[in-house]
């Protein structure tokens, strides 16, 4: 069966917020197939610790593809301990040039507590301008909400949670069942 014959998988909103010396990455738990919710408790945010170096990663897109990318990122981090930017660029280069990896349909938000990066299959490693990054079907809603909340007294976690709640109210492919990971530099 050709890939385009499968019904569309939708779901996932992932947000990364950097504020007051900490980074929070939060993701919803919904996985949908067409207009049907298949699962409401998926964990799309993970903590990686290659060589004792903590990184938090959230993914949107195909789960199998995202896990492949997370494994590759761990390998890159083991080769360049403590250098998330370099490992991210190396992953993006491989993703862009490797024929197998080019077919992967996922995006990542990663952080070591000091930096946040969005890694895409187009070879991009993006650092957000306003200390907020979001991906997935509800990503634009969460991004807009978080940007509006950044000047408040709320913590990074509160901004992420409030933004995800707003996205869940707007995007039918996003739910309020969150996985939240916090990391400091």
Local structure of residue 51 (DSSP, 8 states): G
Q: CA 147, CA 141: separation in Å to the nearest integer?
A: 10
Strands, E, within the chain: which ranges?
A: 9-10, 13-19, 22-27, 31-33, 36-39, 45-48, 55-61, 106-111, 116-119, 125-126, 132-136, 179-184
Label residue 172 exposed, middle or buried (CB < 10 Å: 0-12, 13-18, 19+). middle
- The yes-or-no answer on residue 12 being catalytic is yes
Which one is catalytic: 12, 13, 80, 174? 12
Label residue 185 exposed, middle or buried (CB < 10 Å: 0-12, 13-18, 19+). exposed
Q: Would you call 30 helix, strand, or coil by DSSP?
A: coil
Q: Are 90 and 80 in contact (CB under 8 A)?
A: yes
Q: Are 24 and 156 in contact (CB under 8 A)?
A: yes
Q: CA 23, CA 138: separation in Å to the nearest integer?
A: 20
Which two structure tokens, joined as six digits, stand for 148?
């509006």
The catalytic residue positions are: 12
């Amino acid at each position: 069966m050709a890939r385009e014959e499968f019904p569309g998988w939708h779901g996932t909103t992932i947000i990364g917020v950097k504020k007051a010396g900490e980074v929070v990455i939060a993701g919803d738990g919904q996985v949908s197939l067409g207009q049907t919710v298949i699962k409401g408790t998926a964990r799309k945010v993970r903590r990686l610790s290659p060589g004792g170096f903590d990184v938090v990663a959230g993914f949107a897109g195909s789960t199998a593809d995202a896990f492949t990318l997370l494994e590759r990122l761990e390998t890159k981090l083991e080769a360049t301990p403590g250098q998330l930017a370099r490992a991210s660029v190396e992953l993006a280069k491989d993703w862009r040039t490797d024929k197998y990896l080019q077919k992967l349909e996922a995006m990542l938000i990663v952080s070591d507590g000091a930096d946040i990066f969005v890694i895409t299959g187009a070879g991009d490693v993006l650092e957000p301008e306003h200390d907020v990054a979001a991906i997935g079907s509800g990503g634009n809603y969460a991004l807009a909400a978080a940007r509006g909340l950044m000047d408040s007294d709320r913590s990074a976690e509160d901004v992420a949670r409030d933004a995800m709640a707003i996205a869940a109210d707007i995007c039918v492919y996003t739910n309020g069942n969150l996985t939240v990971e916090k990391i400091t530099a």
